[in-house]
Amino acid sequence: MRLVAVLALLFIAQFVLAESKPKPTVADAERFMAEAESRLSDLGVKANRAGWIQENFITDDTVALSAEAQEELTAATTELIEQAKRFDGLKMPPVLARKFSLLRVATTAPAPKDPALRRELTQIAASLDADYGKGKYCRKPDECLDITAIERIMGESRDPAELQDLWLGWHKVGAPMRQRYSRFVELSNQGAREMGFADTGALWRAGYDMPPEQFSEEVERLWQQVRPLYLALHTYVRAKLAQKYGARLVPPDGPIPAHLLGNPWAQEWGNIFPTLGLPEKSSGYDLTALLKARNLDAKGMVRYGENFYKSLGFAPLPETFWQRSLFTKPADRDVVCHASAWDIDNKDDLRIKMCIQVRDIDFVTIHHELGHNFYQRAYKDQPFMFQSGANDGFHEAIGDTIALAITPQYLKEIGLLDKIPPPESDIPLLLKEALSKVAVLPWAVVVDQWRWKVFSGEIKPAEYNRAWWDLRRKYQGVMPPVERSEADFDPGAKYHVAANVPYTRYFLADILEFQFYRALCKEAGYTGPLNRCTFFRSKAAGEKFNRMLELGQSKPWPEALETLTGQREMDATAILDYFAPLKKWLDEQNKGQKVGW
């Protein structure tokens, strides 16, 4: 009885102490957040610098240093997310409450609390990224090709045997990643569950100012809006490829073999435009030829992109941008050539990293990457927690909106084109644009549909590859050139999977950019066909654009969207408006063809 009494007294004492412990106040929460923002900002800059060095000088040492910096940032983020739980239920001012909400979803690779497991996760993440960056296919003993070379050859070659060989050669890069990726999923999911999420995919989807389940429905709603346009494009492209390669290789009523669509992933099809039966000069001009005729170097290409933003009223890029960016692939070392934009110090140290070639696709990509940089600078005066896009789709959409304005009118105004082609040239121009903007839509859905299902456990490690191709067939209507097995890990042959970069942002960006574009054209006073609009030199459009950009993530994305477009919902009618003349033309061309697969 004496022992029971003692235990009872201890329990009562603990209860009294817990009750007497002061509850956190708003002032406590404000102090916590100020310290958290300062700490995360400092660690983020350190990780940015280490990441920049790792991707530009790939060695075992730089990979280790980057992993250590990321581990430190991940550990701090995980620790702060855990500490922030003590403020759950506290009524806060809206701005402070939003910061706490954003902190909760501030990582794409949530790490377990256990330091050893956290270290293991960051080391795996760094090794997967490095494997991709160092990846090569040696088709001859003295000819080893990196992904830049493979992309170039697959964009130009029309030899199905060579294309299949390159496709298979590059996809070998994924197989060694498979077991580590499976372990990464386990560790990341453990971290997500410790933070209160069902899994890492649910954490990703929670970052869109709506419940994860509602966001999944939103993506599917938008996809169904644009699916008829994609089906029309797929049907036309399949018929043309069947004519070129034969029905044995390209079944007229089935999926399209992935190696025939112009790049290693069949994500964008612009490189196969010359095979689609339109007269070679039907678009009225060849942008790659126009650029080469100017004897441009990589920096000259980037100057054109900067000048567009300047014409809207944005300040020039800082001099350090030109000194510190990577514009061309070095001859003496491996680098991650995947184009990216960097904000090293959350202030003015803006950079891009690209292996630029003088060609049309790189001209467009430059405008896209600079969009990240100008967005980053627009919100630099926001508190740290708000220094990001309204959602990650916004960040990708900004530069793409500018790229849409690379019209014949714009090319004439900057002196690349002598005269504007007649209206009948619009169909080939729209077709080439659709091979990028429309073709990528289902691919952009698939990459994260697969990962969401992997994170949730719906897709097991033993069926990674089969599930990948099932989804690609369902959404894209593409198939691998040869039978694949679970000895392969084809998702790992895509940078964003190896580097754990969420991909739905690209799908949202493809929808949002047309909404932004339509709004900016209206602000510039343009009234003609949407696909012919450029708002180059419109200060009114630039001023309204900047009002949205400078908000960063300080407001829920519907409010940011409304600032520019007057709409609070993502809406695919703008992309349908833009491609309306092409859809009508495709439907005429596709008469008698089976639509779908």
What does each C-alpha distance from 115 to 49, 62, 65 come to in angstroms? 23, 21, 17
H/E/C letters for each residue in 452-464? Answer: HHHHHCCCCHHHH
Q: What is the largest CA-CA distance in the chain?
A: 100
Tell me the C-alpha distance between 570 and 515, whole Å: 8
Q: Distance between CA atoms of 516 and 510, rounded to whole angstroms? A: 10
CA dihedral angle for residue 555, residue 559, residue 565, residue 566, rounded to 10 degrees: -150
Token couple for 552: 């960063």
369 is annotated as an active-site residue: yes
Angle between helices 94-104 and 60-84 (to 10 degrees): 130
The secondary structure of 350-375 as a DSSP string is EEEE----SSHHHHHHHHHHHHHHHH
Q: Cα angle vertex 313, ends 519, 355, to 5°?
A: 90
Active site residue 259: no
Cβ-contact 127, 63 below 8 angstroms: yes
432 Cβ neighbours under 8 A, 6+ residues apart: 270, 273, 283
> Among 259, 368, 395, 496, which one carries the catalytic annotation?
496
Q: Out of 120, 268, 306, 369, which one is annotated catalytic?
A: 369
Q: Alpha-carbon distance 531 to 393, whole Å?
A: 22
Give the sign of the dihedral formed by CA 478, CA 482, CA 483, CA 489: negative
Instruction: Write out the two tokens for 131.
Output: 């494997």
Terminal-residue alpha carbon distance, the chain: 78
Dist CA 5 CA 231 (whole Å): 76
Q: Kindly give the interhelix angle for 504-523 and 539-549, rounded to the nearest 10 degrees.
A: 140
The C-alpha R_g of the chain, in whole angstroms, comes to: 25
C-alpha to C-alpha distance for 267 and 264, rounded to whole angstroms: 8
CA 92/CA 107 separation, integer angstroms? 23
Q: If DSSP codes are grouped into helix, strand and coil, which group holds residue 152?
A: helix
Please, which residues have CB within 8 angstroms of residue 35's CB and are 6 or more apart in sequence?
A: none
Helix, strand, or coil here: 573?
A: helix
Instruction: Provide CB contacts within 8 A for 442, sequence distance 6+.
Output: 223, 230, 475, 476, 477
Residues in the chain: 597
**CB-CB contact of 241 with 275 (8 Å):** yes
DSSP string of 265-294, one letter each residue:
TSS--GGGGGGSSS-TTTTS--HHHHHHHT
Residues taking part in catalysis: 369, 496
